[in-house]
Structure 1
Amino acid sequence: MSLKITQLVAHKSILLVLFLQSIALCLSLENDTLSAGVVIKDPETIVSAKQVHKLGFFSPPNTTNRYLGIFFASSEETVIWVANRDTPLRDSSGAVTLSRDGNLVVLDGTNQTVWSTNLTTSSVNPVVQILDTGNLILREEGSGDTLWESFSHPTDVMVQGMTLSQNVKTGKQVLLTAWKNASDPGMGSFTGGIDAMSGTVQLFTWNDGRPHWRSGPWNGQIFLGIKETLYGYLDAITQVNSDSAGNIFFSPPPIDGLVMWNSSGSAIRKAWNNMEKRWDVVAYPKNECDVYGKCGPFGSCSIMQSPVCSCLRGFEPANEDEWGRGNWTNGCRRRNQLRCGDDGFDRLRYMKVPDFAKPLPSRVQDECQTRCLGNCSCIAYAFDSYIGCMFWSNTLIDTQEFGSVGANLYIRLSASEFDSHKERKLYIIIGVAAGFACMSIMMFIAWWFIVKRKGSKSQDSSILEAGQMFTTDSTAIVLKNESKEVNIGDFPKFTFEILANATNQFHEDNLLGRGGFGPVYKGILANGKEIAVKRLSAESGQGMQEFMNEVIVISKLQHRNLVKLLGGCVEKEEKILIYEYMPNKSLDACLFDPTNPTKKLLDWYMRYSIIQGIGRGILYLHKDSRLRIIHRDLKPSNVLLDQDCNPKISDFGMARIFGGNEDHGRTARIVGTYGYMAPEYGMEGRFSEKSDVYSFGVLILEIIKGKKNTHYFNDELSLSLIGCAWKMWSEGDGLSFVEESIASRETEEEMVRCIQIGLLCVQGYPKDRPSIEMVLSMLSRDIVELAAPKQPVFAENGSTKDSNGSTHQNVYSSYELTHSVLDGR
């Protein structure tokens, strides 16, 4: 009997526990809803099902006013929606509930309504729910119909799933409105949204209705006026869609973050950095040239110039006095009026196109010019492969020069503008030629007197051997038996005897390394200065052309991440270059030699610094130097490290100088090192800045892995270095790719991000690779969100199988394949 009682009690206890668990489960499922008759009092909240967002009361900084809002559960200071933004509660006695007519209302301490959803129809059984998206919906519980939602009544923030819109038939807009200030969420003067009434869709910030910033036209892929999205591979800040009713919708991309407009007029993109538990922020406008109409009508803004404003060609300041004082709002006016049938076009490169573009679908750019010439009111045109032609009439406003990316803008000018330009150009050419002739005569006379006075001593300042010499003329190297004179500036000359003594007759003990073009020795001059002496071997592939090329290029460059050329020597068959001495030798020696003591210094932070330093050196070559230079042979052995392990790019024998309008080249003489060559260069001879970016990508992966690309093969995975990086990154196991000695969970996010950047750089097609400018922005986190790379073309293994099925790795030394010449059959 007692046993049965005991079993009965145990049975009832189990039922009680299950009952209590079911009640708790029901409560947990209902904690994201507010039903009729339930009152939430300050500071109570309801939380979305997955604990993403909360609905509750909050106070902004520096005020005790209370507002009902939605905010992130993990970051409560980030408010994405405010109910009573213009009617604050003065104390903490507020509450939120459902009224008798089915509206969601905010009540003060006296039960007076301070805010309501203001539905005009009553609901029988209303319920309010906060979703994980951050949307607060009021719906009819029986039918499930949505009666009202916060996403349709936004404040200053957009999150994924929310849209801004404009109806092109009625002009009606759904906008975001910034707070008045950081302490007052009331409606401020800045609003943000899209404008599609002119024919192109643009993202705008308005200040009391006046344009403050715009994104440029949406071409179906990106906004053409946001510089960071002009590289093709980078995701746009937003996405744009439309429906049959004439509504154009604008929404943020699927990222863990938001887009907001702040009280200063900035459109801000915030992405949550889960590793560092903070927001990564990008804001627009980014600089003064991004501000709408900074330079007025027919003015162009360039942040790279001082002053930033200038008139477009063919135009002059509308008010010279104001322009001189830095007031550019009145812009510029045309110098010579158009004659319609007798006009031409001036091309402006890398531009943010002006506002008020009128699009016309076209697949051929030439059609744009024909149509513009045939319309006397057309004053400019541009072409985009997705939009087609864009035309402008009346005025050109908010034009900006980007400098490295952007559209070609063609400005219509009177024929007289081109004639006067030709005349001015002729005068300049004549003047320069006359000045050069006079200077040459004076320098010859000076040189003759110096030679006359010093006699045989001039032999010490010139190197005269075997029909070749460096002259004492400090402005040029003259090569006898060569057909041209090459200007190189003040370039010091060394005798062979001096260099032989400095290197102890090129003794093996002073050998620093051997490259494909000859050995490099350490030397010490008579004054104690340490130097590196690159002695080109007669057997190497580098002849006078490459030697002179390096002299020309590097003598004109000066940057902390480029090695400094100190001088040169040509005697008999000797061709020698003298550089500053790098005590830590090359990155190749430090990174790949486990016995090198410097390798222990190369922790992750040092490697990351080296990556950024190399990138800055490449940026200088591509964008910032007086010459535009493609290196064409970037590899670890051509990166030297100073005493602090700062990287310096060296060996410019293969470099190519580009003119102002050139952006790519082609050659039948392929030079460089296999394993670092971009596919289009190695196979077709086509090279550009993106070729160096490819080589830099290989360098990034080598620095992370600590293995040489041309000598690495994963037997287990049958993959090359690039293939191994791709596989591990794409499978979410990027840390396994990192060299074991530096791999750490603390820096995993940064390491994996660098692997992704390296993979973006080694994409098969040049258009898919970022520019070096963008790579540096990625490394410095100016660009937060990275595109997903495609599988690189060299991701497969570099091995072959014999007839027996055995695998053989194809490994080539850099010397064997450093210099190749490909001739067509």
Structure 2
Amino acid sequence: MKLLLLLLLRQEYSAVSAMSKPFGPSISPVSLPALSPGIHMESREQKMDPSRKKFIALIGVCSSLVVIILVLFCLWIRYWKKSQKSGKNDAKNSDVERGLVLAPFLGNFRSLRTVSKTGYASFMDCKILEKATSKFHDSNVLGVGGFGRVYKARLEDGSCVAVKKLDCSTQDAGKEFENEVDLLSKFHHPNIISLVGYSIESETGFIVYELMNNGSLETQLHGPSNGSELSWYRRMKIALDTAKGLEYLHEHCNPVVIHRDLKSSNILLDSNFNAKLSDFGLAVIDGTQNKNDLKLSGTVGYVAPEYLLVGKLTDKSDVYAFGVVLLELLFGRKAVEKQAPAQCQTLVTWAMPKLTDRSLLPEILDPVIKNTMDLKHLFQVAAVALLCVQPEPSYRPLITDVMHSLIPLVPVELGGTLRQPSASSNPTLQCQH
């Protein structure tokens, strides 16, 4: 061992001595013995390469798996968020599919596809409606229309609604059903009836509305009570509400919607006598079709003369019908009354010559409201009614102007701007709340 150490020290000394001398031709730095230990180290590392490679490969595989798992997790989170956002739309689409399956007689049921754009009408099971109306028992009938009846229904949650049952076996009835569901699902206004849902079974359609506890204006005016629940201010409130509903259709819907069948039976009253427009089966969207080619529809006594005679339909046709309703509120008379077995007289024909006679007008009012209003207000309302029922459409005012003319005639507590004494000192206001 000592000998070996001496040899190594001698060799190292020789190498140092050689490096300290000037380099000459006979000396090459490559031949330095000090490089030999490095060569032995490299050979040891080469012997370890296979295990290191396996270890590095294992780390690489694990890293790849972690990256793949993270990518899949991110994709799953993204998909989950999209599914949450589209959940409601999927529910609506499922309802639409159910409606299409159950309504082969309607063909391309456009309303069920467009309803999700601005609103949503729930598809309701017919069995639920049947149970809610006691199998559509006669005791639950609220009214009768051209294509069916309206029933009162109590749903499983205890809420009460109105169900219109329509016979859609004819093409006209099917179109009206489609049109009404389509339009009502898009309307959002306090003076237009709210759509709760719809249902279809075979050739029968069902439209479910909010329940209006005081029925229609026609029932209140011409039914058993003969208008006894309708004071002067309450009638002005109903007129204003109706004008607001029409103003929404004419001025705030794009394109304009023409109701085409405005009448007292299509003005419904809730428990507080707030009025809402209903029955949009005949309504027309301006610009979607040639209105002059439409089949003549409406109710005698309310149809504007230009539409009746030449088929010209505009928003002024609704204004004419509103004028007739205003006359009903003033006089308590029906839009058409029989004078003889084969002869009828319209309310417009009867009232036109009397509306401008200030001495006669107070005496021919509905007895329920006679002597209960300021005569100045009475004359203003009569003037508005007279303008609305003018034979020439261009002479009729816009419904916006009508609405603004009525606002000052309705008390503040009923939605107008008229300030009146307290209800305790004014009997005509006691029933308004």
> TM-score if structure 2 supplies the norm length?
0.67
CA contact (8 A) 1:630 1:655 kept: yes
Matched, 1:690 2:322: no
Amino acid at match of 2:141: L
Partners of 1:484 and 1:564 lie apart in 2 by 16
Matched, 1:766 2:418: no
CA contact (8 A) 1:725 1:734 kept: no
CA contact (8 A) 2:169 2:204 kept: no
Larger fraction in strand: 1
Q: SS of the residue aligned with 2:205?
A: strand
Q: Kindly state the Cα deviation for residue 554 of structure 1 after the two structures are TM-superposed.
A: 1.1
Matched, 1:652 2:288: no
The residue number in structure 1 matching 2:146 is: 516
Partners of 2:146 and 2:171 lie apart in 1 by 8
The residue number in structure 2 matching 1:533 is: 163
The residue number in structure 2 matching 1:727 is: 353
The residue number in structure 1 matching 2:208 is: 578
> Which of 98, 117, 125 is equivalent to 1:462?
98
What whole-Å deviation, never above 9, does each CA across 1:101-142 have from its counterpart, x for those lacking one? xxxxxxxxxxxxxxxxxxxxxxxxxxxxxxxxxxxxxxxxxx
Distance 1:568 1:485, change over 3 A: closer
Q: Kindly state the Cα deviation for residue 734 of structure 1 after the two structures are TM-superposed.
A: 1.4
Distance 1:619 1:735, change over 3 A: same
The residue number in structure 2 matching 1:548 is: 178
After TM superposition, the structure 1 = structure 2 runs for residues 657-668 of structure 1, keeping only pairs within 5 Å, are: 657-659=285-287, 665-668=291-294
Q: Kindly state the Cα deviation for residue 555 of structure 1 after the two structures are TM-superposed.
A: 0.7
What whole-Å deviation, never above 9, does each CA across 1:67-126 have from its counterpart, x for those lacking one? xxxxxxxxxxxxxxxxxxxxxxxxxxxxxxxxxxxxxxxxxxxxxxxxxxxxxxxxxxxx
CA contact (8 A) 1:517 1:541 kept: no
> Which of 201, 215, 230 is equivalent to 1:602?
230
Partners of 1:510 and 1:554 lie apart in 2 by 24
CA contact (8 A) 2:147 2:173 kept: no
Partners of 2:340 and 2:401 lie apart in 1 by 31
Partners of 2:350 and 2:362 lie apart in 1 by 12
Larger fraction in helix: 2
Amino acid at match of 2:403: L
Distance 1:517 1:752, change over 3 A: farther
Aligned CA-pair RMSD: 3.1
Matched, 1:777 2:413: no
Q: Kindly state the Cα deviation for residue 780 of structure 1 after the two structures are TM-superposed.
A: 3.0
Partners of 1:539 and 1:751 lie apart in 2 by 47
Q: Kindly state the Cα deviation for residue 737 of structure 1 after the two structures are TM-superposed.
A: 2.8
Distance 1:540 1:633, change over 3 A: farther
Q: Kindly state the Cα deviation for residue 533 of structure 1 after the two structures are TM-superposed.
A: 0.2
With CA pairs under 8 Å and 6+ residues apart, which has the higher RCO, 1 or 2?
2
Distance 1:570 1:729, change over 3 A: same
The residue number in structure 2 matching 1:620 is: 248
Q: Kindly state the Cα deviation for residue 625 of structure 1 after the two structures are TM-superposed.
A: 3.2
Distance 1:694 1:459, change over 3 A: closer
Distance 1:748 1:481, change over 3 A: closer
Larger Rg: 2
Distance 1:505 1:641, change over 3 A: same
Amino acid at match of 2:248: Y
The residue number in structure 2 matching 1:737 is: 364
The residue number in structure 1 matching 2:79 is: none
Segments of structure 1 that go 5 or more residues without pairing to the other structure are 1-441, 452-457, 470-478, 783-825
Amino acid at match of 2:361: G
CA contact (8 A) 2:247 2:399 kept: yes
CA contact (8 A) 2:191 2:242 kept: yes
CA contact (8 A) 2:110 2:178 kept: no
Q: Kindly state the Cα deviation for residue 483 of structure 1 after the two structures are TM-superposed.
A: 8.4
Distance 1:482 1:538, change over 3 A: closer
> Which of 564, 568, 572 is equivalent to 2:194?
564
> TM-score if structure 1 supplies the norm length?
0.36
Segments of structure 2 that go 5 or more residues without pairing to the other structure are 1-81, 410-433
Amino acid at match of 2:257: I
Q: SS of the residue aligned with 2:336?
A: helix
What whole-Å deviation, never above 9, does each CA across 1:338-362 have from its counterpart, x for those lacking one? xxxxxxxxxxxxxxxxxxxxxxxxx
Partners of 1:581 and 1:484 lie apart in 2 by 23
Amino acid at match of 1:571: E
Partners of 1:595 and 1:540 lie apart in 2 by 36
Amino acid at match of 1:764: P
Amino acid at match of 1:636: S
Distance 1:501 1:679, change over 3 A: same
The residue number in structure 2 matching 1:700 is: 326
Partners of 1:780 and 1:734 lie apart in 2 by 22
Amino acid at match of 1:559: H
Q: How many residues align?
A: 316
Distance 1:578 1:542, change over 3 A: farther
> Which of 122, 128, 148 is equivalent to 1:498?
128
What whole-Å deviation, never above 9, does each CA across 1:123-178 have from its counterpart, x for those lacking one? xxxxxxxxxxxxxxxxxxxxxxxxxxxxxxxxxxxxxxxxxxxxxxxxxxxxxxxx
Partners of 1:500 and 1:770 lie apart in 2 by 45
What whole-Å deviation, never above 9, does each CA across 1:478-519 have from its counterpart, x for those lacking one? x65668974111220001101100100000000001011210
Amino acid at match of 2:251: K
Q: SS of the residue aligned with 1:601?
A: coil
> Which of 383, 395, 400 is equivalent to 1:756?
383
Partners of 2:309 and 2:110 lie apart in 1 by 32
Q: Kindly state the Cα deviation for residue 759 of structure 1 after the two structures are TM-superposed.
A: 1.2
Matched, 1:632 2:268: no
Q: Kindly state the Cα deviation for residue 727 of structure 1 after the two structures are TM-superposed.
A: 1.9
Partners of 1:584 and 1:634 lie apart in 2 by 18
Amino acid at match of 2:331: K
